[in-house]
Chain A
């Protein structure tokens, strides 16, 4: 086995002097403690390695061992309902080994190798298999069937297939003969290097939305399945909350939640909440469809850099089975900072704000791994990426936000002043955008209602008019505005309080079906039409406001349960009665 001797140590970076046999990107073990590292640069006289663990206590002269493999993840049943660190080591098993703290150099298997899974073999002897062919199905959790596939670049004829039964992830379940005559044993396990996208047949344009149950997202700024979105915001504006809500309620089959350089307590919260919360679709705990990658801010910085690649590789693996996967990356800024930190240690020439010049290309490579694909086995699956961005000082002009904006098609800008006023979700309707709207409009019109997009556009137009009017109000006060403009302010207030604000802690309001979103819009717009008619007849807004109809409409989000959409007819009648009454009283 090839090896080298440490020459220098600087934080997470170590150097080996002279020419070595190591490969670029190779995974190495450092010292007798077997700390995991990765080769990041090779020159004639120096090999540079980043170490994924604390380097305290290493000395020059300690050995570095090669493995001939790039940093990889192990793909097999047991990934779901589990929590890993940035290089797919299970934190639960680490806790069993080393107590409340994470120690170094712990050698644990990524996945449980002793557990017996109920395996349903899907191939027969004599059958020709291709990359992606499902060889076995395993009920991984109550919600998800795990499909073990023939690895990419492998095809041949099955010469031996085990009977269905109980197997561990390392038992041979099939033997295939490759074209060159060699035989290869297949198990439930595959390995895949984290920095290489898994191959697919074809990428489709986005045509279906990832339904999140969050009104401002689904209605105003929708994301497609296989799409990319960025959630930038200063601290306290609700990035994590937005991510949690999508992870809980979106209609993805699998959620990969990457806590990249964030708080330890947040990961604990996800773990506790998701184990208790029940998925409304399957009736099983949310953890059954979730995998957590936790690399908290105090864990080694190099593993933080690797964590988002680990996450997306796991996501692609489930996509290959034909599932729709959504990735929450919280936060990509911490990942970019890890890049900066390592780049600084390597004394590379810095670009903007100390970030390395390759920040943009790394970001684009990451976001381009999202998409709606035809897999090797002709199933369809998607990976959607929702990346939080934590701009320094809440200033969106900094490099990570700006570069991210270039590569994502959905931008959900969080706003400090909305958060200060406790308007949540604090996504600002003027700074946010979604480029998917055009792609998704046919789907919405067909599946939700033919007027969905037109209602959405009217709502957004009202909000834009309000913002123009507010500029005037700031100068001269609202009393002097003409009544039709006062009405716009009133209706916009209803939209803000009754539609955009959504209470994540309210049983009914936390997740709202698209049908209800449409009905709410229709009701608000109906009220707008009726009020406009009254104003045209010369009724002042102050007269309209004597009735509590405005407050009633705002409270729809709490008062109408998600399964009682028939109640909306009542509201329509109520608006009609209000209309008649105003005319009666003031005729």
Chain B
């Protein structure tokens, strides 16, 4: 048992300062015992700065009830660790990995530092196998690949949770494998209703015993959120690379994480960069998002779907902006589409999957996939131009081909992007639907499709 230090020299927001400490390490975890009015309370903190014998400690559970005199601090001698076991599947934990489902603590010899270490690019394997989500806009145009990090950019009030839940329910690794997906769900500062929505969805679709949940709700301590994604990803990496499972990680809401980071940064008195966020926001995001992928000589994979709400629907806000630079694409939800009762309201133009090109086509989906996707993107981009023109000169004045584009645009949004919340389309259905819609346009407008593919599929799809 190491020494406990009594008292503090400073309390400022979530940060405390302790003087006269011996042998404290940078990034070490400390245990705090607070003797409050309601008896002893235990908290956990992390040393984030250290000068000789003075340590600045960030307290995860918040500094309520703490005074300069009533706190005992004990050094643990190691960074924050989590005990890992396959038995974690089906369990629920709080934001720093302590069980909150009254089923006792996890018993195992395996403990890992939650900060993780960077994966060596040499040992990574380039992701190529696609995950079928059953959602046309995703499968057809922004295909999700195993080992990818593909965030959903959303806004308040948009159905990102429904979409994430639908992906979890329908996700299939393809017909030639028996592997099952396990889900690691990390909630950071989400409302109780949202956490409950996910829990009941998992329960209804009978996947609850394949899910590990880490919950930090909106009324839980803010600083705890900074640890939640790291705990979740440490668990995911263990399940994937040690146990060989296919892991899907859902992180919601990354905006709350960034807000927490800003809060702590400003109490530390750091120099802010854009919109008050600390200069290292990019690096912090990267240490989270980069913990996805496939490694050589392991069956497992970590696929990430982070959800973030764009403040004021602004995609250039630092949070979505920096995220987009790290993740391998993004799925962007659109308020206007939502307003027209299209579900899922995915705006396909800014949406993108960077890994798509290598995971589709012959041998994965179907040989015409890339061409159809390109043509749909290009045609839908023209729909935007035609609509802009129509709003100036009126629809009647448009040229014949522009009118066709308007018709195509409406059909594309309602039939291709739009589908029911329980509708699970296979990839062939999605691609054929794409061809069907392209028939609305004059054939000579289809300039993105290879002549051979055109000959093979154009008439075939017309017959159906």
The distance in angstroms between the C-alpha atoms of A234 and B127, with both chains bound, is 23
| Mask: chain A, 368-383; 1 = CB below 8 Å from B; 0 = not | 0000000000000000
Interface of A is mostly: mixed
Query: In the bound complex, what is the Cα–Cα distance between A233 and B405 (angstroms)?
Result: 29
A91 contacts B120, CB within 8 Å?
yes
Q: Which residue of chain B is the closest to A264 with respect to CB atoms? A: B121
Q: In chain A between 40 and 98, which residues have their CB closer than 8 angstroms to a CB of chain B?
A: 54-61, 83, 91-92, 94-95, 98
Of residues A57, A59, A235, which shows the largest number of chain B Cβ atoms within 10 Å of its Cβ? A235
B412 interface residue per 8 A CB criterion: no
B103 lies within 8 A of chain A by Cβ? no
Say whether A393 faces chain B, with CB atoms less than 8 Å apart.
Answer: yes
User: Which of B53, B270, B315, B328 meets A344, CB within 8 Å?
Assistant: B270
- Give the contact stretch, choosing among A137-145, A196-204, A268-276, A460-468: A268-276
Known contacts: A475-B392, A477-B393. The answer to whether A55 contacts B119 by CB under 8 A is: no
CB atoms of A267 and B450 under 8 A apart: no
Decide: A91 and B122 in contact? CB cutoff 8 A.
yes
Nearest to B348 among chain A residues (CB) is A420
B26 touches A58 (CB 8 A): yes
User: 1/0 per position for A246-285, CB-CB distance to B under 8 A?
Assistant: 0000000000000101011101110110000000000000
Of B282, B316, B382, B397, most buried by chain A (CB within 10 Å of CB) is B282
**A497 contact from B280, B389, B447, Cβ within 8 A:** B447
Asked if B117 and A392 sit within 8 Å, CB to CB, the answer is no
Q: Nearest CB to that of A268 among chain B residues?
A: B124
Shortest Cβ distance from residue A287 to the other chain B in the assembled complex, whole angstroms: 13
Q: Does B290 contact A (CB under 8 A)?
A: yes
B158 → chain A, closest Cβ, in Å? 20
Q: Does B241 sit at the interface, judged by CB under 8 A? A: yes
In the bound complex, residues from chain B placing their C-beta under 8 Å from that of A421 are 349, 377-378, 381-382
Judge whether B287 and A298 touch: CB under 8 Å.
yes
- Whether A392 lies near B399 (C-beta < 8 A) is no
A244 to B179, CA, bound (A): 34
Q: B273 and A353: CB pair below 8 A?
A: yes
- Which of B25, B26, B125, B370 is packed against the most chain A CB atoms within 10 Å? B26
Residues of B within 8 A of A234 (CB): 324
Contact of A554 with B447 at beta-carbon distance under 8 Å, contacts A83-B121, A268-B124 already known:
yes
Which B residues are CB-close (under 8 A) to A61? 23
With an 8 A cutoff between CB atoms, is B24 at the interface?
yes
Give CA–CA (A488, B225) in the complex, Å: 58
Known: A340-B279, A422-B374. A102 touches B120 (CB 8 A): yes
List B contacts of A564 (CB < 8 A). Answer: none
> Interface with B: A3-11, A402-410, A439-447, which one?
A3-11
For residue A2, CB closer than 8 A to chain B, the reply is: no
Q: How many residues of A contact B (CB 8 A)?
A: 81
- Are A477 and B398 in contact, CB atoms less than 8 angstroms apart? yes
Residue of A nearest to B444 (CB): A551
* B344 sits at the interface (CB 8 A): no
Interface string of B353-377 (1 = CB under 8 A from A): 0110110000000000010001001
Cβ of B272 < 8 Å from any Cβ of A?
yes
Distance, CA A176 to CA B93, complexed state (A): 69
Cβ-defined contact, B121 with A91, below 8 A: yes
Question: Contact: B52 with A8, CB < 8 Å?
Answer: yes
A479 — which chain B residues lie within 8 A by C-beta? 397, 399
* Residues 280-304 of A contacting B (Cβ, < 8 Å): 294, 296-299, 301
A9 touches which of B26, B324, B328 (Cβ 8 Å) = B26
Count of B residues near A, CB < 8 Å? 84
Interface check A538, CB cutoff 8 A: no
Within 8 A of A (CB), among B272-325: 272-274, 278-280, 282-283, 286-287, 289-291, 293, 295-296, 298, 315-318, 321-322, 324-325
Given contacts A100-B123, A301-B283, A477-B393, contact A8 B50 (CB under 8 A): yes
- CB-CB under 8 A from A263, the residues of chain B are 290, 326, 328
- B-side residues, CB < 8 A to A, are 23-28, 49-53, 79, 113, 115-127, 147, 241, 270-274, 278-280, 282-283, 286-287, 289-291, 293, 295-296, 298, 315-318, 321-322, 324-326, 328-330, 349-350, 352, 354-355, 357-358, 370, 374, 377-378, 381-382, 388-389, 392-393, 397-399, 444, 447-448, 450-451
The 7 A-B residue pairs with the shortest CB-CB distance in the complex, in nearest-first order: A393-B316, A354-B273, A297-B286, A421-B381, A56-B27, A101-B117, A235-B324
11 A–B pairs (Cβ distance < 8 Å), ordered by A = A9-B26, A9-B50, A56-B25, A58-B25, A95-B123, A236-B330, A268-B125, A344-B270, A353-B274, A392-B318, A421-B381
Q: Which A residues have a C-beta under 8 Å from some C-beta of B?
A: 7-11, 15, 17, 54-61, 83, 91-92, 94-95, 98-103, 234-236, 259, 261, 263-265, 267-269, 271-272, 294, 296-299, 301, 334, 337, 340-341, 343-344, 347, 350, 353-355, 390, 392-395, 416-417, 420-423, 473-479, 497, 505, 548, 551, 554-555, 558
**Known pairs A56-B26, A344-B278 / 15 extra A-B pairs, C-beta < 8 Å:** A10-B49, A57-B26, A59-B23, A83-B122, A101-B120, A235-B321, A264-B293, A268-B121, A299-B118, A341-B279, A344-B270, A355-B273, A477-B393, A505-B357, A558-B450
